[in-house]
Chains A and B, each alone.
Chain A
Amino acid sequence: MTGRFPPSRPYTADAVPEVQSKTRRRLRVLAASMPVVVLGALLLAPTASAGWFLPQTDGSPNADGIRTLYILITVIGLVIFVGVEGLLIYSMIRFRARKGRVAAQIHGNTQLEIGWTVGAAAILVFLTVFTFLLLNDIKNPAASQIDSNGQPIAAAHAQFASTDQPAPPGGNSLNIKVIGQQYSWNFQYPQIDDKRVYAYNDMYVPVGMTVTLDVESVDVAHSWWIPQLGGKADAIPGYTNKMWFRIPVDAIPEGQDRVVYGGQCAELCGRNHADMVARVIGLRFDDWKSWYDSKAQQLKQAQDEGAAERKQLESSEGQ
């Protein structure tokens, strides 16, 4: 389209014919080696050390779903990466300026250009479909593996994704309010048997139970994140964000009484942002229940003592 000027002789020399066939052969080799590369990546990816190549997970269904999606995109991305970088390096070396070589004066190729536009779009359509297939299991809480008395129950499927995070099917879940503040996390547990419990920085939960979180903030924006238990939920003052996880019921190693997952605030929240850490500690249901009861006891005792002191102080001031 740009070569309106009739090209004169020295500018129109085509590339040497035998070059073309050699080029084609090498391209074919490149194309043939692609499935091997992809297969290798597929096989290596899950076994490779998680932190270097893959997002972390320890069996929470949402984190598992995210990792599956990540692997899929990695495979597609690797094919594109190897293909395009390969072509780039190949053209740099193969078509390097040498004596006697003449550049082919090509202005474009409409079919080819339409082809790669449609091709790129097709890959993205495929990715979209795949994302929505997995989205359900990532966004919506899965059914709890145990009921509210700690008894195992049969697996059930989650409902399809909706605008808000729905309650987990089966009705068994533990809802904890997570409140970010400079620079700690406050966890408010639901009322059980007339007892109220709250805690800071260490969140104790029963394994196998679906835990839903209402993430809030009282000062600046924070972000709740325990990498092995799924994604982030920004804690923004004035809003309630939703997040959930379910530690597998068999996550506690043999001979131990707990499983610990670390994480820290992921949104810049001030000077001590790096020190705003949190842990989720999974206990067996009975252990968790006794932790809950003793925590409630401790809090009540502290509250009573505080009230007594206040009363004493008030009465002494009143005299």
Chain B
Amino acid sequence: VAAIGARPQIIAHEVDRPRRGWVQWLTTTDHKKIGILYLCTVLVFFVLGGVEALLMRIQLGTPENTFLTPEKYNEILTMHGTTMIFLVIVPVWAGFANYFLPLMIGARDVAFPRLNAWSYWMFLFGGIALYASMFFTPPEAGWFSYVPLSLKEFTPSNGQEAWIYMVHLTGLSSIIGAINFIATIHNMRAPGMGWGRMPLFVWTILIYAYLIILALTSLAASVTMLLLDRNFGTNFFDPNEGGSALLWQHLFWFFGHPEVYILVLPAFGVFSEILPVFARKPIFGYKAIAAATAGIAFLGMLVWAHHMFATPMSTVVLAFFMLSSFLIAVPTGVKIFNWVATLWRGTVEWTVPLLFCVGGIATFLMGGITGIFLAVFPVDWQLTDTYFVVAHFHYTAFGASAFAMVGALYYWFPKMTGRKMSEGLGRVSFVLFFIGFHLTFLVQHSAGLDGMPRRIYEYSSSAGWEVQNLISSIGSWVLALGILLTIINMVRSLKRGVIAGPDPWKANTLEWFTTSPPPVNNFDVIPRVRSVEPMKDIRRQIERQTGAPQRFEAGKPMVRA
């Protein structure tokens, strides 16, 4: 590690004059600035999607409520799902990966910086296209836009076109971004960083990128067919003209299920990065976790029809998709066991990032187990399209992805801004977040078992679902408060947070080798990587050379905050 104490070597000729003010944000091709643009945009959409969720919970809090009209309810339902999937969880990982992937592998930028900027702007305009329709006629056929409901005959408004346009723009954004990540990971790793020494977050982003290329291209083709059916007289999906209504469902879920793993795999990567740092222990079974990631992605391509168990299908098809869905539980289970084993016999520091990760794993486990119920197709015949499913996918998508993204925010905020977020406020936020989440979604399992279908704008007081829905609606506000506290914490810490220094957590990966925030070129000198935990090696070497202890001692606060 010759890097320590080395003087920066900067070649200054032919360097553009740095731009200032807002122009630098419009014209930037720096992966860190683009990452921050992504994350800020995602935050805005996350708040919008959250407000939509609260509106739906207000409407459903009491029976026979008239707070929203059926039309408005369907529009908000569609916007909420579409926003959270396409404009929050997929791009949030693009944001974190943009900022941290080059830093973690010791690169100075992504492979194609201009293409990277284009990805971001297409994502932003996709989101704006969708939300612009709010002022005219928003889409109302659900985020899954099942045909024939989404055909012109049944949904004549142009909101559906806005939805298609958004899918195209954000889809292209994601595909181009994915190509960029793959090229970066394959070609730009630090010397010595073989596949077996790559951080697990980078592993999950690599698999996420491959899945995006496979799944989102399929979706792009499907929505193009829908666009043609709606406007140019083709009949891919119209059964009266020789088309097939089931074709859309197959095409959509061929994208839709890999999409689930696009949302969740990077969250697994975040768990695999943060847990070992705060357990002060190496990750348990590095190779198994990396292999499980690839295994989940492969099997994730083979399970799509388990979303369609109630459609006309033969037993052979039903059985195949049940078995493939079972199989995917094995690598997922392996990951959970490995995370628990990583904490085992460690010295676990209850920092806010760790709390969000462990809370996320605990929640995701529940979603994984309810997934087994849904994989058994006879049981799915009872549970599909009920609130049981709503609960299930919030336990997985929110449990893993949203918990992980807040955990990642607390963990990486010091690197992005140079300041730590408040631990105290973070803990309060976590408690509200955790309790609010389970209050909202646990009873929804019961509502579903009791016969409450999804996507209904009202229910009768004689149905017997008032208690479940009231609890759920109260929980949604607790959850919202938890999120609000984190946002306040973030804004406050930008100016008032404790100065973090380059490596506040004494973490394992290379992003902590450089200053916080990092300089434009990330690293003046890139160290040679000798293990999965290069920062541990570097600290060890410093300790050996200088005699000054670098290791964290259990039970002693590192940085006050």
Contacts and interface: CB of A to CB of B under 8 A. Distances in A.
Interface stretch (B16-24, B91-99, B324-332, B433-441): B324-332
A131 B376 contact: yes
Given A76-B372, A92-B348, A97-B554, 13 more contacts: A5-B531, A52-B450, A55-B383, A84-B336, A84-B365, A88-B358, A95-B343, A105-B282, A124-B326, A134-B378, A221-B245, A234-B312, A271-B457
Given A5-B530, A51-B450, A85-B365, A236 B381 contact: no
B229 interface: no
B346 interface: yes
B5 interface: no
Interface stretch (A187-195, A223-231, A298-306): A223-231
Contacts of A77: 369-370, 372-373
B345 A97 contact: no
Contacts of B282: 2-3, 105-107
A4 B534 CA distance: 11
Contacts of A252: none
A269 B286 CA distance: 47
A53 B446 contact: yes
A288 B537 CA distance: 82
A104 B530 contact: no
B519 interface: no
Given A92-B348, A232-B385, A271 B70 contact: yes
B338 interface: yes
B428 to A, nearest CB: 18
B417 interface: no
Given A106-B284, A268-B142, A66 B381 contact: yes
Contacts of B554: 97-103
A248 interface: no
A274 B350 contact: no
Interface of B: 70-71, 74, 140-142, 146-149, 154, 196-197, 239-240, 244-246, 279-288, 308, 310-312, 314-316, 319, 322-323, 326-327, 329-330, 333-334, 336-338, 340-341, 343-350, 358, 361-362, 365-366, 369-370, 372-373, 376-386, 446, 449-451, 453-459, 464, 530-533, 536-537, 540, 543-544, 549, 551, 553-556
Contacts of B555: 97-101
Contacts of B141: 268
A10 B348 contact: no
Interface residues of A, number: 101
Contacts of B284: 106-109
Q: Which 4 A-B pairs have the closest CB atoms?
A: A231-B381, A238-B239, A51-B450, A274-B456
Nearest to A2: B532
Contact of B382 (A1, A55, A120, A121): A55
B141 to A, nearest CB: 8
Nearest to A272: B70
A274 B285 contact: no
A149 interface: no
A164 B334 contact: no
A104 B281 contact: yes
A12 B381 CA distance: 53
Contacts of B308: 234
Nearest to B377: A131
A219 interface: yes
15 contacts: A1-B196, A5-B531, A51-B464, A53-B446, A69-B376, A73-B376, A81-B369, A101-B347, A106-B345, A117-B333, A124-B326, A124-B330, A127-B372, A138-B378, A227-B382
Contacts of B556: 99
A53 B345 CA distance: 36
A35 interface: no
Given A103-B347, A227-B451, A52 B362 contact: no
A135 B319 CA distance: 10
B312 A103 contact: no
Contacts of B246: 236, 238-239
Nearest to B458: A274
B252 to A, nearest CB: 12
A240 B373 contact: no
Given A10-B551, A124-B329, A220-B149, A241 B312 contact: yes
Contacts of A24: none
Contacts of A200: none
Contacts of A139: 315, 378
Contacts of A10: 543, 549, 551
Nearest to A216: B312
Nearest to B361: A88
B536 to A, nearest CB: 8
A116 B339 CA distance: 13
Contacts of B343: 88, 91-92, 95
Interface string A40-62: 00000000001111111000001
Contacts of A50: 449-450
A264 B450 CA distance: 12
